[in-house]
Amino acid sequence: MARNKIALIGSGMIGGTLAHIAAQKELGDVVLFDIAEGIPEGKGLDIAQSAPVDGYDSRLKGTQDYKDIEGADVCIVTAGVPRKPGMSRDDLVEINLKVMKSVGEGIAKYAPNAFVICITNPLDAMVWALQKFSGLPTNKVVGMAGILDSSRFRMFLAEEFNVSVESVTAFVLGGHGDTMVPSLRYSTVAGVSLPDMVKLGWTTQEKLDAIVDRTRKGGGEIVGLLKTGSAYYAPAASAIQMAESYLKDKKVVVPCAAYLDGEFGVNDRYVGVPIVIGEEGAERILEIEFTEEEKQMFEHSVAAVEDLVEACKKIDPSLA
């Protein structure tokens, strides 16, 4: 049986963490790509040397040559620059758009059948541009953000209720920016919605509002603490869940930046919505219904994505 091949485009902190988790889970053989000579080779070798102790058989290779990603089943893209304290994700649009162009061309040439997961910020615009630059089918190119934002939301909620994180489900929808929409109605503790948890006296609306606000600023909180870059453990774990669901046809239902072709009233844009991930990639969109208030928040978030896409088109007219 052929082993799966996972190409990690970008070998910084998220790329290295992705390689480690993918190898430990034996999702396949791992290729770490980066333009910085020595980094992917060093990280690949280091992780490979932990394999005898941990007992896994993934092979790891570091490279600066796109040819080495040839035939990859999954490509996870973290290439580009992370933000620093004081910056917004949107400040990265110009510099990271250029990176998406060369990554898209590399994937189109060597791994046109891959399932592509984009992590580079500003996420919703970068995954849109990456799909255009690569020309891959829209169901095979998705953005990782909703799982990360929802995981942050779940963690904060579990802390508030003093329950296991496993008992908390959450959906954070919309764009991966300050306008994201953590949904109270579609988030639960063991199936009980958050408005009902307020009614049951387990929390207050004020506390939930503070958790929503902290979730929206979750990435910035980590950037402020790390000072030299942005989060990597939780983003890597989130992308691995997506890759695993694709490779094993698990069909998990998770919020991701998916291509909308009329769903939710949005056309030709990537926005965070619940999708099923299976062997066909983004197989199906769960088109949940919004209240009037939720609809307004979602539309506000889509408008922020729209602005970034327009900025991309101005920077690179080939996208217009």
Q: Which residues does the annotation place in the binding site for NAD(+)?
A: 10-15, 34, 96, 119-121
Q: Does 223 bind ligand LMR (CB under 6 A)?
A: yes
Q: Which residues ranging from 169 to 198 are in contact with ligand LMR (CB under 6 A)?
A: 176
Q: Does 43 bind ligand LMR (CB under 6 A)?
A: no
Show the tokens assigned to 99: 């990176």
Please pick, from the candidates 96, 121, 187, 301, the single residue that binds ligand LMR as defined by CB under 6 A: 121
Binding mask 193-222 for ligand LMR (x = CB under 6 A): -------------------------xxx-x
Q: How many residues does the chain have?
A: 320
The nearest distance, CB 142 to ligand LMR, in angstroms, is 15
Considering beta carbons, is residue 60 or 236 the nearer one to ligand LMR? 236
Of the residues 5, 154, 176, 216, which is catalytic? Answer: 176
The nearest distance, CB 18 to ligand LMR, in angstroms, is 14
Determine the distance from the C-alpha atom of residue 42 to the mean position of all C-alpha atoms in its chain, rounded to a whole number: 25
Q: Select the residue whose beta carbon is closest to ligand LMR and give its number.
A: 219
Q: Is 176 a catalytic residue?
A: yes
The nearest distance, CB 229 to ligand LMR, in angstroms, is 8
Please pick, from the candidates 58, 96, 215, 230, the single residue that binds ligand LMR as defined by CB under 6 A: 230
Residues lying near ligand LMR in the complex (CB under 6 A) are found at: 82-83, 89, 121, 148, 176, 218-220, 222-223, 230-231, 235
